[in-house]
Structure 1
Amino acid sequence: MPQLNPAPWFAILMFSWLVFLTIIPTKVLNHVYPNGPTPLNMDKHKAQPWYWPWQ
Structure 2
Amino acid sequence: MPQLNPDPWFMTLIFAWLIFLLIIPIKVLSHISPNEPSPVNTEKHKTGSWDWLW
Question: Shorter-chain TM-score category?
Answer: 0.5 to 0.7
Task: Could you tell me which runs of 5 or more consecutive residues in structure 2 were left unpaired when the two chains were aligned.
Answer: none
TM-score, normalised via structure 1 length: 0.63
TM-score, normalised via structure 2 length: 0.64
Question: How high is the sequence identity, in percent, across the aligned residues?
Answer: 42
CA RMSD of aligned residues (A): 2.7
Aligned length: 53
For residues 4-48 of structure 1, the C-alpha deviation after alignment (integer angstroms, 9 at most, x for no partner) is 210111111111001000000000000123x33363673624232
In the TM superposition, 1:6-17 aligns within 5 A as 6-17=6-17
